[in-house]
Amino acid sequence: MAKILEGPAMKLFNKWGIPVPNYVVIMDPDRLAHLGEANKWLRESKLVVKAHEAIGGRFKLGLVKIGLNLDEAIAASREMIGTKIGTAEVRQVIVAEMLDHDAEFYVSIISNRDGAELLLSTKGGVDIEDNWHTVKRLFIPIDENPSIEGLTELACDAGFEGEIAERVGKICSRLVLCFDNEDAQSIEINPLVIRKSDMRFAALDAVMNVDWDARFRHADWDFKPVSEIGRPFTEAEQQIMDIDSRIKGSVKFVEVPGGEVALLTAGGGASVFYADAVVARGGTIANYAEYSGDPADWAVEALTETICRLPNIKHIIVGGAIANFTDVKATFSGIINGFRESKSKGYLENVKIWVRRGGPNENQGLAAIRKLQEEGFDIHVYDRSMPMTDIVDMAMRS
């Protein structure tokens, strides 16, 4: 899954003939003034200015300003750019035309196991949740694009009439093309608006997710996916992602502020169970982490150091199932180096380390990490005979 920002989504809509309002994405308010000189719509339309960042609840944070003229939009941009929200900073804003409109509709496509489902309603806008019963659905099997006639019929079924139904059908058909060709996982347009005086449609707001694994066949994807964890990535998270993109196998890291139990766990399946075990015992996790696919020792070392730097942690869970092919000795040598380095920098004071792991070269790996006891680490090492998540129970009891 990769959520993309409004700007790149609008660009993809444009590419596939889905009507969008005029918009610009800017980093410098002065640039907006120049753009105003060049573009009539900026001078003559009412404008909306939105922070172009992966920040949830922008409206409440004052990062969406509506009904502005150009000067007000420039002022709003100036105010927004540079604003810090937690660890995030607003670097860009999107300035779009506020199309005067007569009605708001809802249309979305969501991927499912056998294809996708198109959802359509005449009751778009902020109240869509309350009007969910009005939504008409059309299942689109993989590789079978519905006809414009079929989509127009769906529109009629949903309560659209006459020419509007025809136009909505056409927009839906383009949306299906966009969805299919851009390897999208979901597109939600809310609202899709219409100005009846000139029958102009526009997708005023849209959320789009694309399949980042498919990027190898999309030369024009010049954007990066935004964080899916409800906030922008922290610097430490970015660093681990950079490493992840360079190695065989993978390392992953997400911070959870305020937690006391840090996870340094292996495997996408087991790591989640470790997080569950902490929560089930009434603990709080300080992060989620995962290394898998036999990553290089230096990558695991970097992940270890990142985890050791988490503030106020009391335990580190070095957990994992019995690996199929991740070499325990090699990955543990990265962990050991990371612990040593962190300790020498003053981290890991009063932190208890709990280890449970099995897999290729498990005996050598566990023996090596057990030796840290002699170097003054508060470390407890167990092999496969210790049930996988029992080290969490022991940590929480200690």
Partner 1 sequence: MSILANKDTRAVIIGGVAGVNAAKRMAQFDFLINRPLTIQAFVYPPEAGQQKEIFRGGELKNVTVYSSLAPALAEHPEINTALIYLGASRATQAAKEAIESPNIKLITMITEGVPEKDAKRLKKLALQHGKMLNGPSSIGVMSAGECRLGVIGGEFKNLKLCNLYRAGSFGVLTKSGGLSNEAMWLCAQNGDGITSAVAIGGDAYPGTDFVTYLEMFENDPDTKAVVLIGEVGGNLEEEAAEWLAAEPRRIRLVAAIGGTCQEVLPQGMKFGHAGAKEGKKGAGSARSKMNALRDAGALVPDTFGGLSKAIKQVYEELIASGAIKSESELDESLLPELPPSVQEVMRQGEVVVEPLIRTTISDDRGEEPRYAGYAASELCSKGYGIEDVIGLLWNKQLPTREESEIIKRIIMISADHGPAVSGAYGSILAACAGIDMPQAVSAGMTMIGPRFGGAVTNAGKYFKLGVKEYPNDIPGFLSWMKKNVGPVPGIGHRVKSLRNPDQRVKYLVSYVKNETALHTPCLNYALEVEKITTAKKDNLILNVDGTMGCILMDLGFPEHSLNGFFVLARTIGMIGHWIDQNNQNARLIRLYDYLINYAVKPERPVPDKK
Binding site for partner 1 (CB under 8 A): 1, 56, 111, 113-115, 141-143, 180, 183, 185, 211, 213-214, 216-217, 228-231, 252, 254, 256, 266-273, 275-280, 284-285, 288, 290, 292-293, 320-326, 358-361, 384, 387-390, 392-393
Smallest gap from residue 303 Cβ to partner 1 (A):
14
Number of H-type helices and E-type strands within the chain: 12, 19
The minimum distance between CB 17 and partner 1, in angstroms, equals: 21
Between 73 and 116, CB nearer to partner 1: 116
Q: How many CB atoms lie within 10 A of CB 165?
A: 20
Residues 6+ apart with CB under 8 A from 357: 266, 318, 319, 320, 322, 323, 328, 332, 365, 366, 383, 384
375 C-beta neighbours (distance < 10 Å), count? 11
Contacts of residue 164, defined as CB under 8 A and 6 or more positions apart, other chains included, come to 155, 194, 199
Closest to partner 1 by CB, 39 or 239:
239
Of the pair 194, 251, the CB lying nearest partner 1 is at: 251
Give the shortest CB-310-to-partner 1 separation in angstroms: 16
- 252 vs 340 by CB, closer to partner 1: 252
Distance CA 143, CA 116 (A): 10
Q: Residue 86 Cβ, how far from partner 1 at the closest point, in Å?
A: 11
d(CA 352, CA 378): 5
Least Cβ distance, residue 88 to partner 1 (angstroms): 14
Q: Give the separation between CA 18 and CA 15, rounded to whole angstroms.
A: 8
Nearer to partner 1 (CB atom), residue 193 or residue 277: 277
CB nearer to partner 1: give 211 or 341: 211
Buried-exposed string 197-226: b where 16+ CB fall within 10 A, e elsewhere? eeeebbbbbbebbbebeeeeeeeebeeebb
Residue 288: CB minimum distance to partner 1, A: 4
Question: Least distance from C-beta 346 to partner 1, angstroms?
Answer: 29
Give SS3 for 4: strand
Nearer to partner 1, 97 or 327 (CB): 327
Euclidean distance between CA atoms 339 and 115, whole angstroms: 47
The answer to whether the beta carbons of residues 238 and 87 sit under 8 Å apart is no
